Amino acid sequence: MRAIALSRERHTDTFADMSKPPSADSPFWKVVHAATRVNVALFRASGGRAGGRIGGAPVLLLHHIGRRSGRARTTPLLYLDDEPNIVIVTSKGGTDTHPAWFHNLMAMDSTEIELPGRRRRRVRPRVAEPAERDALWPQLVKPYADYATYTNRRIPVVILAPV
């Protein structure tokens, strides 16, 4: 009887851990990167009709250059249209580290995004000021509310202003 109780406790602990994001160095992120490549291909082939929404939220393609590698990269991200700006969030699923694209983007003066409908836009990235972030956060809460509870870091909000 005791062995069964211990087994259940371990199962419960494991299940509870699954409700949090994997660590930044987990193999899980390799799968995410593969899915990202598929999403980019679908988005481009369909003009955003496929791969242009996740869970009802719109998706854009962010172009950035690896700050160490110098390689061109494209990352699909959920966004908020806050005309004339586009707003993105550096959640990385609620992990304790910022995503690499955030560091790459902050090293750039400007970049390009692709929006559904085959629209492209030049933008200048900047981290939202605290008051600005606080005003935007309630609009962003639906897709990111759980992520914010997984980490102690304050998840940055990035404003992409038209160039």
Whether 8 is in a domain gets the answer: no
Query: Percent of the chain having pLDDT more than 70?
Result: 83
CB 120 within 8 A of CB 114: yes
Whether 9 is in a domain gets the answer: no
Whether 67 is in a domain gets the answer: yes
What number of other Cβ atoms are within 10 A of residue 40's Cβ?
18
Whether 16 is in a domain gets the answer: no
Domain that holds residue 117: 24-162
pLDDT value for 133: 94
pLDDT band at 95 (very low <50, low <70, confident <90, very high): confident
Q: How many domains does the chain have?
A: 1
* Domain containing residue 154: CATH number: 2.30.110.10
Give the integer Cα–Cα distance in Å for 37 and 71: 15
pTM, rounded to two decimals = 0.81
Whether 12 is in a domain gets the answer: no
Whether 58 is in a domain gets the answer: yes
Whether 140 is in a domain gets the answer: yes
Check residues 60 and 25 and name the one with the higher pLDDT.
60
What pLDDT, in 10s, does the model give residues 62-76? 999 999 999 999 999
